[in-house]
Amino acid sequence: MKYKKYKLERREKRKVKGKLLKFLFFSGIAGITVYMFFSLITGKPQVENLRDITFIPAQKDAILRLKGDVKRATIKILQGEREFILYDAPPQGKAIPLHLAPRQMGLTDGKAKLLITLRYGLLGRKTYQMDTWIDTLPPKLEVVGYTRYVPQGGTGAVKARVKDGYSAYLQVGEERYPMYPVGKEEYFTLYPVKVDQDPSTTIKVVAYDLAGNSTTALLKIQIKKVQFKTDRIKLSEEFIKKVIIPLLGRDMPPIDAFKEVNENWRKKDVENLKRIGSNSTAKKLWEGNFLQLPGSKVISTFGDIRYYYYQDREISMSRHMGYDFASVENAPVPASNSGIVVFTGNMGIYGNMVVIDHGFGLMSLYGHLSEIKVKKRQFVKKGDIIANTDSTGLALGDHLHFGIMVHGIEVNPKEWLDAKWLKTNIDSVLEAN
């Protein structure tokens, strides 16, 4: 009896064990099936930002972005018999930071291969292989010519020769301005000096190649401090009611209304002009000096500092960033020089306005217009009629606000009206060898 009972117990245990094994087996099959199905849905992991390491300079920090669930990433760079492991670890998050220093890795300038292996899931593996180019030598930079003396609010020009380079820019303080190719290995640009530019501002040319290596040349430019005219303007309640309130299209307390137009609108206009001026034709379109409105008188000059008073209290201030020309009412306005129309329409304090691009970052601006006779992207010749004067925008009467911009920064138009100044400070640099 004991023996039979023992056999039955063993048989029962074997049945339980068999069921358990079957359960584990089918559970495993189900798990693998679910994993395979999940892999098909989610796909294999991917690496982004590979273009950032197509060229490798002397020193570079790059970040590769991962898409998908990556368990481990291995990144190697291969050149001949040399192999250097850049990364071999489970990624922290979805980014892999890389520090590239070819010379420290024992690599030389020339072609190399990048091998990226991603492990995912249970046994998944995906490998990327791409060619990369190592270039540790910076471009050679020679400054051919530049304007050496520029007043605050003025314009200068720079021409440079770049060998084994890809592009160049000019840096004035914290501002960067593009340089335009004008011949084999030659670049040219105009640059603005702001009305409040610190005379000690550093100005330099920076050339760089496809890999990101750069060469810098400091320019010995003297920025001359200028004493601009100061005006104190009394605002009447009648002016605010007749000019300011209609501009706003809503009723506001007099001081708030004027500050809204003179300060907030002006700030937005400056931003819009910077945006418009940042996209200029990469060639010279202007012909000689610029034209003043025919038969006109100058009623306001560039850089004037204006303080506004209401009921004997100073409430606001502004800088006048152009020249105001007054002629007869509704006077025809000619294009001051040849170029491409890049803006027509209404803009804040300028009212109806036209902007013409003359190339190399140089643009002319015409404000307070009535009828506009040209369209965006239209080429106009020097002297072509583009509009008529009026008092749209923030204007006391019928006149033309004429402005000159360089890379979206308003500069002194007086310089560009002067043929001698233009030849000495701009043309001579553009023609330098």
Question: What local confidence, expressed as pLDDT, does residue 81 receive?
Answer: 87
Task: Return the percentage of the chain with pLDDT > 70, whole number.
Answer: 90
pLDDT band at 51 (very low <50, low <70, confident <90, very high): confident
Question: What local confidence, expressed as pLDDT, does residue 41 receive?
Answer: 45
Distance CA 197, CA 394 (A): 26
Question: What local confidence, expressed as pLDDT, does residue 9 receive?
Answer: 56
Task: Check: CB of residue 94 under 8 Å from CB of residue 65.
Answer: yes
The CA-CA-CA angle for residues 357, 362, 368, to 5°, reads 65
Is the pLDDT at 17 greater than 60? The verdict is: no
In terms of Cβ atoms closer than 10 Å to its own Cβ (0-12, 13-18, 19+), residue 368 is: buried
Residue 351: partners with Cβ closer than 8 Å, 6 or more residues away: 367, 368, 369, 390, 391, 392, 393, 394, 395
Task: Check: CB of residue 105 under 8 Å from CB of residue 77.
Answer: yes
* pLDDT tens string 258-271: 999 999 999 999 99
Question: What local confidence, expressed as pLDDT, does residue 35 receive?
Answer: 47
Is the pLDDT at 70 greater than 50? The verdict is: yes
* pLDDT tens string 161-170: 999 999 999 9
Domains of the chain, start order: 46-134 (2.60.40.10), 140-224 (2.60.40.10), 230-412 (2.70.70.10)
pLDDT band at 338 (very low <50, low <70, confident <90, very high): very high
Beta-strand ranges (E) seen in 265-414 are: 297-300, 304-310, 313-320, 323-326, 332-334, 339-347, 351-359, 362-372, 379-380, 385-389, 400-406, 409-411
Distance CA 405, CA 155 (A): 9
Is the pLDDT at 284 greater than 90? The verdict is: yes
Instruction: Indicate the SS3 state at residue 283.
Output: coil
Mean pLDDT, residues 78-104 taken together: 90
More confident residue, 109 or 7: 109
Is the pLDDT at 47 greater than 90? The verdict is: no
Q: Which range has the worst mean pLDDT, 41-50, 70-79, 416-425? A: 41-50
Question: What local confidence, expressed as pLDDT, does residue 74 receive?
Answer: 94
**CB-side neighbour CA atoms (13 Å) of 135:** 17
Is the pLDDT at 16 greater than 60? The verdict is: no
Task: Check: CB of residue 381 under 8 Å from CB of residue 387.
Answer: no
Mean pLDDT, residues 28-51 taken together: 62
Task: Check: CB of residue 390 under 8 Å from CB of residue 352.
Answer: yes
* pLDDT tens string 245-256: 999 999 999 999
- What is the average pLDDT value for the chain, to the nearest integer? 90
First-last CA distance in the chain: 117
Phi/psi at 13 (5° precision): -65, -40
More confident residue, 49 or 204: 204
Residue 105: partners with Cβ closer than 8 Å, 6 or more residues away: 77, 82, 84
Q: Which range has the worst mean pLDDT, 27-36, 56-65, 118-127? A: 27-36
Tokens representing residue 23 in the block = 């359960």
List alpha helices for 205-265, DSSP H. Answer: 237-239, 245-248, 254-259
Is the pLDDT at 14 greater than 80? The verdict is: no
* pLDDT tens string 130-155: 999 999 999 999 999 999 999 999 99
Q: Provide the 10 A C-beta neighbour count for residue 121.
A: 17
More confident residue, 173 or 93: 173
* pLDDT tens string 381-397: 999 999 999 999 999 89
Distance CA 304, CA 229 (A): 5
pTM assigned to the model: 0.83
Question: What local confidence, expressed as pLDDT, does residue 40 receive?
Answer: 45
Task: Check: CB of residue 66 under 8 Å from CB of residue 94.
Answer: yes
DSSP 8-state class, residue 350? G
